[in-house]
């Protein structure tokens, strides 16, 4: 069967068709082209022609013009639309004309930088010029580092290396910084949330160092589709940025379908397993030799899919070598071989995690299966975009799991298709993030009194650092005087560098099985907890809190544990309060966690078979929160409590949808009677100390979030609550779901409350 | 992360309420932002008997005290100690940053000294002091060029003392090798905080110990370099404890083969650890081979080097090589290898981990030399075959039972 025939069957098969909740056809699009720019260096033009490029896509030509005009630029186009040429062209053109010029390329991951260096070098070789491009990362050997520092025209690295190895040693990189003409920031969309907030400060430090060496590099950003590329770029650069977002690359017709597996247990809201359903669809593609990529949300799921692929291949007499898995944890050489196999068509089907989502070149396939909603509209489009060639028909199918987000999306396709992708949020002025980087920046160069670094609070922060013995003010300068290398203590990717290490003592030789971050540790690895890792149960024998170590041994028991952590929230300051009665608000809060007891629940029926106390110190979190005051329902207290739990569950999940964040980045709390609002109140707070901007955004999106939460609950077929909407009945009580809906309905009708 | 900045929010809130932080009063200390402290010592006090080496006069001895040990752009040298050797005197110059703003002037003064010197002498200066000075010179925009040579004494120190002392810290070496015990020395880990306390209070009394420490360090460099030269270049014996092997290596690198051999033989005589003995024997063998001293080489493998077990078998393999290649006596080589084989078989029986590989090696050599024997049976060996001197006793040794 051809792909067309498979799709036809899918739509008409009575066993499948009813579960298709969306069938979205995207017509073919012709390309839009522009001639090679007249001002392009003839060597570069010849090199392009030699590689079969006679003309540019219109967005490449626009990017060229914008860069030539001296603007910072952000280019936003889909996967495989020739984005890299948008920056490689102006950079190489400058390097050909001025051999002393330098460029710095930043990619969020190592694998990507390797790919990009290869591509850049391919083009360089074709020009026959002496231009050297190197990756500089943790794997670069010592003697090569010296060569790169003095002779690399293009230095390709990642933000973490820039932050911890290059900027603190900027004097060794004199040649780079003195002559730096371009900074390329690819995969801009990954710099959001906490990572983006750190990145914005790394960029502040980078440009501060450039100023010291007398250079003022132009920045070229490239991004996959997000809702606010220009805003995000401008927040990172703190200067105006030109936007290039009209894609000129052609594409063939595409179909995007949503498939919601049938319900098998209505009471509990359980659906047929998404992995099994996806495996069945994949077998159809493999049997018909349709090149396919499947995305799973976890490594384990990717492995299970791969196993399914192998079986399908065997049944269809496809050689086993033509199907593969791809995830983090594979060796780089293995990954390379798979990428090459996909490009050449040697590999027919691959089951991957989002490790393959980013800009790695694997050619273009004909079908994409998304097993579970990837979490954001933006990554959904990126993953779906892996299928789609310039002419032929391509198909993407999203298979939903029973997660609340998945269920919301597949039941509201209009939300997904009708909405621009999420905005990338950053908060470069998060006090903790900012203070960390002020400290790093002071290490790099003394601060002058009249210098600016982010917001106007700089003098206060420096005065604070002086109190801490980190900087010393003398005349009008602040000098770094501490005996420490500050970048080492600041991780760009997490708020806390502290983890609890889990040590398995089953065998005589203890073995580290994993880590949990400090904040989650009290709930997961308290003494007598059952900790799950890769499907294996471990009993926690001892949690050495001060040493950050949990000692466990392997067990096989028929129960799991769940910790009760009392969360207290206190409003410190209210930044804004909306209209309406009573109004939503956002502000600064302090959250206190106090682990109390744990319960043992049976694996099969979740029955309570025992409990025990948890003896751990309480911890606090200073952050920002959005809160919502609930009208007093005239119901008993425990019913009200159930309603608040239900409401916060649904709100937190839809909120993560709007915020483009992991649901774990949002904490939730409620108070039956809040001393601050004097009413029942539900809080959603940023789990990163200081906040990365979620609270303010939620405050602004308030009506949308409420409407989406209402839709999620109302459309869920379960009776009294399930994990897909408000959480299990066990947690919300018999009336929780109904009461939550009642609250939302009341709130959505203006004037109905108060 | 929040824990990294205790009380940040509260403090900022308090500051916000009280308005912008007041401009800290400019330090009341007047005078230049950096100062030079100079002391002159008679040369004999520094060097002891024997005096300076003529080359010492062109050397600039340097040791810095810094605001931290991490390195990178933000580590500031606040005290640069220099020593200059004259005909009868040693001058110690200390550049001290009274205020951080004095750094460019301090580096400019250092530049003058660097230009005049032909060698820079430091202790760990290649990795620590110099990169820091270089970084600060870029930040202060005072370019520094290093002298043509840089002698970092940490290399010889590691070779000479790390094994016997378990450390190669300057103060430990000073005590053992130079016989100087410091009293009231400041713990170097405290130095950054002492300087910070001075910056904050303007009270320099806590720094006197640091000045003394730095002067002592830089004088120690002068003294140490002289003594190391005597031990390495002039063939004098250092006081124990010392690593004779390390001394042998240093002498060998200085092109003093005979003195190197003497030190290495001493190392072999004093060494008990079989792996270390083997390493030393290899070094000796290299020197003997270079000089074509085949009799001595055979003596080494037959008498001096062998230990027990694996080491004995290895020595026999080496001895066989010398018999076959240098003395053209394959039959003696075969005899030595047969001895090695007996040891190896015993090792195989006890399941020693290296036995398998060694057995293969012995077999391969045995096959080769036996085939040589067949081609040139004894009595018909070429006339140029020589008789080594130690041969009579050697064969007796070779017949000893395995495992001894």
* pLDDT at residue A442 in the model: 97
> Containing domain of residue B211, as a range?
34-232
Beta-bridged to residue A602, according to DSSP, are: A559
B67 and A689: CB-CB below 8 Å? no
CATH number, domain of B85, equals: 3.30.420.10
Residues 37-76 of B with CB under 8 A from A: 67-74, 76
B69 and A483: CB-CB below 8 Å? yes
Asked if the C-beta of A445 comes within 8 angstroms of chain B's C-beta atoms, the answer is yes
Beta-bridged to residue A520, according to DSSP, are: none
pLDDT tens per residue across span B200-218? 998 999 999 999 999 999 9
Chain A, nearest residue to B195 by Cα: A481
Tell which of B198, B216, B232 closes a domain: B232
Q: Cα separation of B74 and A171, whole Å?
A: 11
- The shortest C-alpha distance from B196 to chain A (Å) reads 7
Angle between helices A193-212 and A431-444 (to 10 degrees): 30
- The shortest C-alpha distance from A519 to chain B (Å) reads 11
A485 and B192: CB-CB below 8 Å? no
Beta-bridged to residue A669, according to DSSP, are: A683
Q: How confident is the model at residue A151 (pLDDT cuts 50, 70, 90)?
A: confident
DSSP assignment of B323-373: IIIIS--HHHHHHHHHHHHHHHHHHHHHT-TTHHHHHHHHHHHHHHHHHHH
Q: How confident is the model at residue A418 (pLDDT cuts 50, 70, 90)?
A: confident
Please give the average per-residue pLDDT across B334-350, as a whole number.
Answer: 90
Task: Report the percent of chain B where pLDDT is more than 90.
Answer: 59
Q: Which residue has the tokens 């009506």?
A: A703
Q: Which of B2, B76, B196 sits opposite A432 (nearest CB)?
A: B2
Let me know how many helices (H) and strands (E) chain B has, helices first.
16, 6
What is the dihedral sign for C-alpha A47, A52, A54, A59?
negative
Q: A351, A343 in Cβ contact below 8 A? A: no
Asked if the C-beta of A484 comes within 8 angstroms of chain B's C-beta atoms, the answer is yes
Task: Report the percent of chain A where pLDDT is more than 70.
Answer: 94
- Overall size of chain A counted in residues: 754
Give the closest residue to B333 by CA, choosing from B356, B351, B317, B354. B317
Tell which of B232, B259, B279 closes a domain: B232
B399 pLDDT higher than 60: no
Chain A, nearest residue to B133 by Cα: A171
Sheet holding A133-135, edge to edge: A133-135, A154-157, A102-106, A180-185, A218-223, A72-76, A241-244
Do B173 and B38 lie in one domain? The reply is yes
Q: How confident is the model at residue B400 (pLDDT cuts 50, 70, 90)?
A: very low
- Rg (alpha carbons) of chain B, rounded to whole number: 30
Highest mean pLDDT among A163-167, A305-309, A374-378 belongs to: A163-167
pLDDT tens per residue across span B261-296? 999 999 999 888 888 999 999 999 999 999 999 999
Q: How many CA atoms lie within 13 A of B392 on its CB side?
A: 1
Do B218 and B332 lie in one domain? The reply is no
Query: Does B166 fall in a domain?
Result: yes
Asked if the C-beta of B205 comes within 8 angstroms of chain A's C-beta atoms, the answer is no
Pull the structure tokens for residue A708: 């989406």
A433 and B1: CB-CB below 8 Å? yes
pLDDT tens per residue across span A690-725? 888 889 889 988 888 898 899 889 888 878 887 778
Q: A258, A250 in Cβ contact below 8 A? A: no
Tell which of B212, B232, B252 closes a domain: B232
Query: Does B256 fall in a domain?
Result: no
Neighbours of A605 (CB within 10 A): 6
* φ, ψ for residue B119, nearest 5 deg: -140, 140
Please give the average per-residue pLDDT across A617-621, as a whole number.
Answer: 81
* pLDDT at residue B401 in the model: 37
Do B334 and B227 lie in one domain? The reply is no
Question: Architecture of A3-27+251-417 per CATH?
Answer: 3-Layer(aba) Sandwich (3.40)
Neighbours of A490 (CB within 10 A): 21
Q: How confident is the model at residue A523 (pLDDT cuts 50, 70, 90)?
A: confident
Please give the average per-residue pLDDT across A653-669, as a whole number.
Answer: 81
Q: Where are the domains of chain A?
A: 3-27+251-417, 34-244, 431-489, 497-557, 563-748
A751 pLDDT higher than 50: no
Chain A, nearest residue to B18 by Cα: A460
Pull the structure tokens for residue A160: 């973490």
pLDDT tens per residue across span B166-212? 888 898 899 888 888 888 889 989 999 999 999 999 899 999 999 99
Q: Which residue has the tokens 């002419």?
A: A391
pLDDT tens per residue across span A123-148? 999 888 889 999 898 778 888 888 89
Can you tell me whether residue B64 is helix, strand or coil? Answer: strand
**Strand A20-26 relative to strand A254-259, pairing:** antiparallel
Pull the structure tokens for residue A680: 């029942």
Q: How confident is the model at residue B25 (pLDDT cuts 50, 70, 90)?
A: very low
Q: Which residue has the tokens 């929040």?
A: B2
Q: B94, B81 in Cβ contact below 8 A? A: yes
- Name, in order, each residue with C-beta under 8 angstroms of B7's C-beta and a sequence gap of 6 or more: none
Give the closest residue to A319 by CA, choosing from A351, A347, A282. A347
CATH fold for the domain made of A34-244: Rossmann fold (3.40.50)
Give the closest residue to B130 by CA, choosing from B112, B116, B161, B151. B151
Pull the structure tokens for residue A660: 């483009």
Query: Does B25 fall in a domain?
Result: no
Do B187 and B55 lie in one domain? The reply is yes
Query: Does B24 fall in a domain?
Result: no
Do B41 and B117 lie in one domain? The reply is yes
Q: A295, A352 in Cβ contact below 8 A? A: yes
Q: Cα separation of A263 and A718, whole Å?
A: 10
Query: Does B142 fall in a domain?
Result: yes
Give how many domains chain B has, as a whole number.
2
- What is the count of residue pairs from A and B with beta carbons less than 8 Å apart? 117
Please give the average per-residue pLDDT across A261-276, as a whole number.
Answer: 79
Do B306 and B172 lie in one domain? The reply is no
DSSP assignment of A304-353: HHHHHHHHHHHHTT--GGGEEEE-BTB-HHHHHHHHHHHHHT---EEEE-
pLDDT tens per residue across span A43-65? 999 999 998 999 999 999 999 99
- Name, in order, each residue with C-beta under 8 angstroms of A341's C-beta and a sequence gap of 6 or more: A324, A347
Q: Cα separation of B225 and A390, whole Å?
A: 73
Q: Which of B9, B21, B70 sits opposite A484 (nearest CB)?
A: B70
Chain B, nearest residue to A440 by Cα: B74
* pLDDT at residue B82 in the model: 98
DSSP at A481: -
- Run of H or E including A56: strand A55-57
CATH fold for the domain made of A431-489: Arc Repressor Mutant, subunit A (1.10.10)
Q: Cα separation of A125 and A118, whole Å?
A: 10
Q: B218, B63 in Cβ contact below 8 A? A: yes
A621 and B11: CB-CB below 8 Å? no
Query: Does B353 fall in a domain?
Result: yes
Can you tell me whether residue B254 is helix, strand or coil? Answer: coil
Do B72 and B173 lie in one domain? The reply is yes
A3-27+251-417 shares its CATH topology with A34-244: yes
Can you tell me whether residue A22 is helix, strand or coil? Answer: strand
Beta-bridged to residue A594, according to DSSP, are: A566
């Amino acid at each position: 069967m051809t792909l067309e025939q498979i799709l036809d069957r899918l739509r008409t098969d009575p066993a499948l068709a009813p579960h298709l909740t969306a069938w979205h056809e995207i017509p073919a699009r012709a390309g839009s082209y522009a001639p090679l720019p007249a001002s392009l260096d003839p060597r570069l033009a010849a090199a392009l022609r030699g590689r079969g490029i006679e003309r540019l896509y219109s967005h490449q030509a626009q990017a060229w013009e914008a860069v030539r005009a001296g603007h910072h630029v952000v280019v936003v186009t889909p996967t495989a639309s020739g984005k890299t040429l948008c920056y490689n062209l102006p950079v190489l053109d400058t390097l050909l004309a001025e051999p002393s010029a330098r460029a710095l390329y930043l990619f969020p991951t190592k694998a990507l930088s390797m790919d990009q260096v290869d591509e850049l070098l391919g083009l360089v070789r074709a020009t026959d010029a002496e231009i050297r491009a190197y990756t500089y990362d943790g794997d670069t050997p010592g003697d090569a580092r010296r060569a790169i520092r003095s002779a690399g025209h293009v230095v390709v690295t990642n933000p973490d290396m820039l932050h911890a190895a290059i900027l603190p040693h900027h004097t060794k990189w004199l040649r780079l910084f003195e002559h730096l003409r371009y900074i390329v920031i690819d995969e801009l969309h990954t710099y959001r949330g906490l990572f983006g907030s750190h990145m914005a400060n790394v960029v502040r430090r980078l440009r501060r160092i450039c100023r010291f060496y007398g250079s003022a590099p132009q920045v070229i950003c490239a991004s996959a589709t997000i809702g606010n590329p220009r805003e995000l770029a401008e927040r990172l650069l703190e200067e105006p940025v030109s936007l290039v977002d009209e894609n000129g690359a052609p594409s063939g017709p595409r179909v995007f379908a949503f498939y919601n597996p049938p319900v098998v247990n209505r009471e509990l809201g359980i659906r047929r397993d998404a992995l099994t359903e996806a495996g069945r669809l994949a077998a159809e593609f493999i049997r018909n030799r349709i090149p396919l990529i499947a995305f799973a949300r976890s490594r384990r799921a990717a492995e299970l899919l791969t196993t399914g692929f192998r079986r399908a291949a065997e049944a269809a007499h496809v050689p086993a070598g033509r199907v593969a898995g791809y995830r983090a944890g594979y060796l780089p050489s293995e990954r390379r071989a798979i990428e090459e196999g996909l490009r050449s068509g040697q590999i027919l089907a691959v089951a991957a995690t989002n490790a393959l989502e980013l800009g790695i070149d694997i050619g273009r396939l004909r079908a994409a299966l998304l097993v579970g909603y990837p979490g954001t509209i933006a990554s959904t489009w990126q993953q779906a975009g892996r299928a789609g060639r310039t002419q032929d028909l391509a198909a993407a199918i999203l298979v939903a799991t029973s997660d609340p987000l998945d269920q919301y999306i597949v039941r509201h396709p209009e939300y997904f298709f009708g909405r621009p992708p999420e905005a990338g949020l950053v908060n470069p002025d998060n006090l903790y993030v900012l203070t960390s980087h002020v400290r790093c920046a002071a290490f790099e160069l003394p601060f002058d009194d009249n210098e600016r670094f982010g917001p106007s609070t700089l003098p206060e922060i420096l005065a604070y650092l002086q109190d801490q013995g980190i900087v010393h003010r003398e005349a009008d300068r602040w000098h770094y005087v501490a005996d420490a290398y500050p970048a080492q203590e600041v991780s760009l990717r997490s708020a806390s560098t502290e983890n609890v290490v889990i040590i398995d003592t089953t065998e005589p030789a203890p073995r580290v099985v994993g880590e949990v971050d400090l904040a989650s540790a009290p709930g997961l690895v308290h003494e007598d907890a059952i900790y799950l890792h890769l499907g294996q149960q471990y009993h926690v024998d001892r949690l050495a809190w001060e040493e950050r170590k949990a000692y466990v041994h392997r067990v096989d028991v028929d129960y799991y544990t769940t910790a009760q952590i009392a969360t207290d929230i206190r409003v410190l300051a209210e930044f804004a309060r909306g209209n309406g009665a009573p109004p939503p608000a956002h502000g600064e809060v302090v959250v206190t966690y106090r682990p109390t007891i744990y319960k043992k629940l049976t694996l099969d029926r979740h029955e309570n078979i025992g409990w025990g106390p948890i003896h751990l110190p309480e911890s606090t979190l200073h952050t920002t929160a959005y809160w919502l005051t609930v009208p007093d329902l005239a119901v008993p207290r425990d019913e009200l409590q159930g309603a608040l739990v239900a409401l916060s569950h649904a709100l937190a999940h839809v909120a993560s949808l709007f915020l483009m964040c992991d649901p774990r980045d949002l904490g939730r709390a409620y108070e039956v009677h809040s001393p601050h609002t004097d009413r029942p109140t539900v809080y959603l707070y940023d789990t990163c100390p200081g906040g990365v901007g979620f609270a303010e955004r939620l405050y602004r999106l308030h009506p949308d979030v409420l409407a989406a939460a209402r839709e999620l609950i109302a459309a869920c077929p379960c009776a009294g609550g399930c994990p897909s909407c408000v959480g299990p009945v066990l947690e919300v009580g018999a009336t929780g779901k109904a009461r939550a809906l009642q609250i939302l309905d009341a709130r959505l009708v203006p004037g109905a409350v108060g | 992360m929040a824990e990294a900045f205790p009380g940040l929010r509260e403090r900022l809130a308090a500051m916000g309420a009280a308005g912008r932080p007041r401009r800290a009063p400019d330090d009341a200390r007047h005078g230049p932002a950096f100062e030079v402290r100079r002391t002159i010592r008679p040369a004999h006090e520094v060097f002891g008997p024997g005096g300076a080496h003529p080359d010492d006069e062109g050397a600039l001895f340097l040791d810095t005290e810094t605001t931290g040990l991490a390195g990178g752009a933000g580590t500031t040298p606040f005290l640069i100690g220099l020593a200059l050797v004259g005909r009868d005197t040693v001058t110690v110059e200390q550049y001290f940053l009274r205020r951080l703003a004095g750094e460019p002037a301090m580096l400019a003064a250092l530049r003058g000294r660097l230009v005049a010197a032909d060698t820079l002498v430091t202790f760990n200066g290649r990795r620590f002091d110099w990169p820091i000075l270089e970084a600060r010179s870029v930040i202060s925009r005072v370019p520094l060029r290093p002298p043509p040579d840089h002698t970092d004494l940490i290399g010889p120190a590691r070779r000479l003392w790390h094994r016997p002392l378990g450390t190669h810290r300057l103060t430990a070496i000073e005590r053992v090798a130079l016989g100087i015990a410091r009293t009231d020395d400041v713990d170097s880990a405290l130095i950054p905080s002492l300087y910070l306390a001075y910056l904050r209070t303007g009270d320099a009394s806590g720094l006197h110990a640091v000045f003394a420490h730095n002067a002592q360090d830089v004088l120690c460099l002068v003294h140490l370099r002289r003594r190391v030269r005597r031990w390495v270049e002039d063939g004098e014996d250092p006081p124990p404890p010392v690593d004779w092997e390390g001394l042998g290596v240093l002498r060998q690198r200085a092109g003093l083969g005979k003195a190197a051999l003497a030190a290495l033989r001493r190392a072999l005589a004093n060494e008990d650890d079989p792996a270390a003995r083997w390493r030393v024997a290899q070094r000796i063998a290299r020197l003997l081979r270079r000089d074509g001293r085949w009799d001595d080489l055979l003596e080494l493998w037959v008498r001096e080097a062998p230990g027990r077990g694996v080491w004995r078998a290895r020595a026999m393999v080496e001895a066989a090589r010398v018999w076959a290649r240098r003395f053209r006596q394959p039959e003696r080589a075969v005899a030595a290898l047969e001895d090695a084989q007996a040891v190896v078989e015993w090792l195989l029986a006890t399941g020693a981990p290296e036995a398998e590989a060694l057995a293969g090696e012995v077999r391969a050599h045995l096959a080769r030399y036996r085939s040589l024997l067949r081609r040139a049976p004894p009595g018909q060996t070429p006339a140029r075959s020589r008789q080594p001197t130690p041969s009579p006793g050697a064969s007796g040794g070779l017949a000893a039972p395995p495992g001894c």
